[in-house]
Amino acid sequence: MSELFDEYVDQFNTSINTYGVALNFQKTSAKPTVPGSNPNIADVGTIRMSLEHFKLMAYLLKKQVDNTESQLGIDIPLPMQLMNMLKIAPEDWGKFWKRE
């Protein structure tokens, strides 16, 4: 059995094919980088699952965010710079979160 891990991550990517999904988690180095160079990124771990589990998890995570924001009376904002970097249009973001 694999050893359990408890880590902070600030980056992730997904690998998806007809058999399943791999969620790859990374974290950026806490040490400053030289201007103009890429930050050092360390792999933290990979979680693999079925497509069905992935879709159910996405649904449950969205529901949890909605419940948390509602209970705390807050809206968790994302920086516009991040939205632009990920090419997420404000109208698409609003539609997903039903905040148009």
User: Distance of alpha carbon 61 from its chain centroid, rounded?
Assistant: 10
- Model confidence pLDDT, tens digit, residues 21-42: 999 999 999 888 888 888 899 9
Q: Is the pLDDT of residue 53 over 60?
A: yes
Ranges of each domain in the chain: 1-49, 52-100
Structure confidence at residue 5 (pLDDT): 82
Alpha-carbon distance of 57 to 42, in angstroms, equals: 25
Confidence grade of residue 60 (pLDDT, cut at 50, 70, 90): very high
Confidence grade of residue 14 (pLDDT, cut at 50, 70, 90): very high
Provide the whole-model pTM: 0.80
Distances (CA, A) of 97 to 16, 21, 26, 52, 77: 23, 23, 26, 22, 12
Alpha-carbon distance of 96 to 100, in angstroms, equals: 9
